[in-house]
Amino acid sequence: MDALRGAYREIAVPASVFGHLRDAVAKEAGPLLAIRALHAAGYAAGSAAADEFRSSLDGDVTAIPADAFWAGVTAFFSRRGWGTLTHEVVHEAVGTLTSPDWVEGGGPKSDDASCSFSTGFLSGMLTSLAGGPIAVLEVSCRARGDGHCSFAFGNASAIHDLYGKLVEGAELSGALASL
């Protein structure tokens, strides 16, 4: 089994796997530990997927134009069935990735954002590609009843500040404007 851990392989599983994983881990460990565990597993998987993404690019990831990079990210996730992503720079320190059909957000309804694995996956992948830490925060979720899943990303300080403002009840646009 350890021999496969370092090798990059992809498999297809039903989209419902995310809901089943979330429910099973929450049942065994509680909701907060489930979020942490799924995020950690996602981070490790995203870090591994970064190498596969790099191999799909024409040239070094740091040398391609931003539009080509984000088009590549969108294609990477779309081809694998995760959903369609749209990238937007929403603040000088924060970008967003938004999807109307993100697979993990299509699971059972929840009062909370539910894309913990995806948040970790995106953080691991973007951190590996950037060569430095990239924090990711889910700011809207289809499972919660939002019209789309949206992930804010940037340096840890900006994302921490954004999270604090959102927890205090600020709307996303207001929270971004006050960063």
Residues 97-110: tens digit of each pLDDT: 999 999 999 877 77
Q: Tell me how far apart the alpha carbons of residues 123 and 172 are, in angstroms, rounded to a whole number.
A: 20
Domain ranges (residues) in the chain: 2-177
pLDDT band of 3, cuts 50, 70, 90: low
In this predicted structure, what is the pLDDT of residue 16? 87
* Token code pair at residue 36: 């942490």
Beta bridge partners of 163: none
Q: Tell me how far apart the alpha carbons of residues 10 and 8 are, in angstroms, rounded to a whole number.
A: 7
Cβ neighbours, 10 Å, residue 35: 21
Among 57-71, 82-96, 149-163, which is the least confidently predicted range?
Answer: 57-71
Measured CA distances, 26 to 29, 53, 144 (Å): 5, 31, 17
Spatial contact of 154 and 179, defined as CB atoms under 8 Å apart: no
Q: Which H/E stretch holds residue 2?
A: helix 2-5
- Does the pTM surpass 0.95? The reply is no
**More confidently predicted of 14 and 119:** 119
Spatial contact of 69 and 86, defined as CB atoms under 8 Å apart: no
Residue 1 has pLDDT above 60, yes or no: no
Q: Tell me how far apart the alpha carbons of residues 65 and 87 are, in angstroms, rounded to a whole number.
A: 14
Could you tell me how far CA 163 lies from the centroid of its own chain? 15
Which residues fall within 8 angstroms of residue 26, CB to CB, at 6 or more apart?
34
CATH number of 2-177: 3.30.1380.20
In this predicted structure, what is the pLDDT of residue 176? 93
Spatial contact of 92 and 154, defined as CB atoms under 8 Å apart: no
Place of tokens 């960063």: 179
Instruction: Give per-residue pLDDT as tens, 35-67.
Output: 999 999 999 999 999 999 998 887 788 889 999
